[in-house]
Amino acid sequence: MTEERDGLLDWLYGLSVHGIKMGLDNTRELLRRIGDPQDSFRSMHVAGTDGKGSVSAMLFSVLCGSGIRAGLYTSPHLVDFNERIRTCDGVMTDAELLSLVGEVAPAVDDMAALGRRCTFFEATTAMAFLHFKRKGVEYAVTEVGMGGRFDSTNVIRPDVCVINNIGLEHTAYLGDTVEKIAFEKAGIIKPGVPVITLNPESAFGVIAAEAARQGSPLTRVDPGDIKVTENGADRLSMTYKGEAFEVGIPGRHQARNAALAVEALRASPTADRTEGFLRGGLRSARWPCRMERIEGLPLILDVTHTVSGSECLASDIAEMYGKVVLVFGMLGDKDMEHVARNLSSVADTVVVTVPDSERAFPAEEEMETVGRYFDQVLFEPDVGSAIERAMALGDGRHVLVTGSLYMAGDALRWLRRTYARY
């Protein structure tokens, strides 16, 4: 099965040559050709620059804990493609992957013969929705890939929309201001469908205007209603509007994500089924490489790659661990300058490396930029050797690996190669 699986994944990844396309026509046509599986389940739609994956994981955890047959579609994956598509039973199996590609690929190829070439994400989205139909999913938590308005996931009509914190990202596609990006992310709002957000002005003004235009009830989470009572390395204790919750994903900013999840669940038709499981579901929520402490090693893995995310990460690291040794690498479309500056408050030494991606910053550019902010800047050509060097330098300090999902994925692969217990 491994050889066949690798061949089908090669075909799927090969669709990446068609790049990113802004528009939903291809996705709608592809779904039509495989029986419109998105019409077989209800859904919750989650957008935003930071935290949308964590919110999605929390929603999924509560839904599964309440006995609802739930699905979760996220992107990208850390180590294995199958991570993108899961149900309460677990991630998609290899056999399920082969079957899905076997049904979706002919439709993709037929469209290509007519000059309508599907992208990797369009095909993957179709596979996720088909998997949910086959598994009898009642509710799918669907994370937006990029933007919102023209993202392939925006073919669904959800019961609730969540728009998390918005910052500057993917500016070549979404616009060069927060307002323009907010307009694209607000594109997931559907007529009459409740919208949950916590964005400040000016993003909130854009979201509110679109919600009003669509006649959609709008709930804005007030950060003043959120209080962190204990910021632990493995979980967070908090109150929201006076109610106490524990969250199984560490970091103060997860309190904001949890508040969004609570409001989304209470605004959805599942509210009567999930209310009694909110606390248990949030407590059992897991989302890998979000300030994840690796048991038995002085190692913390994180995926932060935005300016606002790095501010939160630096604050949490300072509170929990003090000074660390940083292993750092980013993709070329991210704001490395300001992320590096923020993280320099918790590290004097950084081992710069290059994540395994064609989109990574060139090593020379990374070294030049990072060198402006750290006392000691070292270089290793890959993430594994960078971690090993950083751990040798640690002198009791923890090693923080961050800067990209690709960095975290490379770190997990190194862990599994190096230590049998992982």
Rounded-to-integer distance, Cα 15 and Cα 27, Å: 14
Say whether 292-418 and 2-284 share the same fold.
no
Tens of pLDDT, residues 257-290: 999 999 999 999 999 999 999 999 999 999 999 9
The structural domains of the chain, with segments of one domain joined by +, span 2-284, 292-418
Which pLDDT score, from 0 to 100, does residue 171 have?
A: 55
Which pLDDT score, from 0 to 100, does residue 89 have?
A: 96
CB atoms within 10 A of CB 1: 9
Q: What is the DSSP string of 1-57?
A: -HHHHHHHHHHHHHGGGG-----SHHHHHHHHHTT-GGGGSEEEEEE-SSSHHHHHH
Tens of pLDDT, residues 128-183: 999 999 999 999 999 999 889 999 999 999 999 999 998 766 656 677 788 999 99
Which pLDDT score, from 0 to 100, does residue 332 have?
A: 87
CATH of 292-418, one of 3.40.390.10, 3.40.1030.10, 3.90.190.20, 1.10.20.10: 3.90.190.20
Instruction: Find, among 149, 189, 184, the residue nearest to 167 by Cα.
Output: 184
Class for the domain spanning 2-284? alpha beta
Tens of pLDDT, residues 28-74: 999 999 999 999 999 999 999 889 999 999 999 999 999 999 999 99
Residue 405 reports pLDDT greater than 60: yes
Tell which wins on pLDDT, 7 or 367. Answer: 367
- Indicate the pLDDT class of residue 396, thresholds 50, 70 and 90: confident
- Indicate the pLDDT class of residue 6, thresholds 50, 70 and 90: confident
Rounded-to-integer distance, Cα 210 and Cα 186, Å: 7
Residue 368 reports pLDDT greater than 90: yes
Q: What is the DSSP string of 252-297?
A: TTHHHHHHHHHHHHHHSTTHHHHGGGHHHHHHH---TTSSEEETTT
Tell which wins on pLDDT, 254 or 173. Answer: 254
Asked if residue 73 lies in contact with residue 141, where contact means CB atoms within 8 angstroms, the answer is yes
| Integer CA distances (angstroms), 156 to 92, 109, 129, in order | 21, 23, 10
Asked if residue 12 lies in contact with residue 109, where contact means CB atoms within 8 angstroms, the answer is no
Rounded-to-integer distance, Cα 217 and Cα 219, Å: 7
| Integer CA distances (angstroms), 21 to 15, 125, 149, 181, in order | 12, 14, 12, 16
Phi and psi for 90 in degrees, rounded to 5? Answer: 130, -175
Rounded-to-integer distance, Cα 235 and Cα 38, Å: 34
Which pLDDT score, from 0 to 100, does residue 415 have?
A: 96
- Indicate the pLDDT class of residue 1, thresholds 50, 70 and 90: low
% of residues, the chain, pLDDT over 70? 97
Instruction: Please give the mean pLDDT across all residues of the chain.
Output: 94
Buried b (16+ CB within 10 A) or exposed e, 245-262: bbbbbbbbbbbbbbbbbb
Residue 302 reports pLDDT greater than 70: yes
79 DSSP β-pair partners: none
% of residues, the chain, pLDDT over 90? 85
pTM above 0.85, yes or no: yes
Tens of pLDDT, residues 80-138: 999 999 999 999 999 999 999 999 999 999 999 999 999 999 999 999 999 999 999 99
The predicted model gives 377-392 an average pLDDT of 96
